[in-house]
Homo-oligomer: A and B are copies of this chain.
Amino acid sequence: MTSIPLPSLRRLPRYLNVLENFQSQGRDTVSATDIADELDLKPIQIRKDMAFTGIVGKPKVGYNIFDLISAIRKFIGWSKETNAVLVGAGSLGTALLGYEGFSRRNLKIVAAFDSNTEKQGRTVYQTRVYSMDMLESIVREHNVKMAIITVPPPSAQTVTDALVRAGILGIWNFSPAEIQAPPEVVVKREDLSEGLAVLFVHMQEKQLQTGEA
């Protein structure tokens, strides 16, 4: 089994955005160069990345946009609906419950959970908030395999353990805590401070370059 390299995988959703944009403009075909120009990348990179989805462009014609969109969505697993649960209905959890980008990618958050009794029973952007007691039964009832964690760091591991017991196989961890899960569970960390560090260091480098020029 050959895995797609991480940088290529990260670019696929950006291609999808660009392709959907072209499609909404009424276009049927697109060249690797068109996509490259839009994203400030090189056409050869686009061709290599697209090949992972099984789609190869035709010389002088390019890619059929509809086919390419379908292939990327299918490759990532976004062509069918996926149920997820979210634990931690604080400010970040609330923002994610209201994030429109998820439904575009067929991600459906079927239930949210919070240990705060004042939040339980409420509906946040059409998703109901339940007590943690209900986690396992709801996860099993909806055959949920994916969970989003937006709890404070001290609760992250306890929540992870509960999710694993309930049969969750993929955890998207927005808490800055490092969590431990069994090998069969995929954990994807999402830490805003990483992006912030990248921006800060690149700003410093740019200022040094400008100063030197």
Contacts and interface: CB of A to CB of B under 8 A. Distances in A.
Interface of A: 1, 3-4, 6, 9-10, 12-14, 16-18, 38-39, 75-78, 82, 91-92, 94-96, 98-99, 101-102, 105, 107, 125, 145-146, 169-170, 172, 176, 178, 184, 186, 188, 190-210, 212
- Of A39, A94, A203, A208, most B-chain CB atoms within 10 Å: A203
A178 B13 contact: no
B18 A105 contact: no
B186 A210 contact: no
* The 6 residue pairs across chains A and B that have the minimum distance between CB atoms: A95-B95, A188-B199, A91-B98, A13-B193, A77-B200, A170-B203
Given A178-B17, A197-B12, A186 B170 contact: no
Nearest to A100: B152
A191 to B, nearest CB: 6
A169 B17 contact: no
Contact of A199 (B92, B95, B96, B172): B172
Nearest to A4: B201
Contacts of A190: 192, 195
Given A91-B94, A201-B77, A172 B195 contact: yes
29 contacts: A1-B205, A1-B208, A9-B201, A13-B193, A13-B194, A13-B196, A13-B197, A14-B191, A14-B194, A17-B193, A18-B178, A38-B178, A77-B200, A77-B201, A78-B200, A82-B200, A91-B95, A94-B95, A96-B192, A105-B193, A145-B203, A170-B200, A170-B203, A172-B195, A184-B210, A186-B199, A188-B195, A188-B198, A190-B195
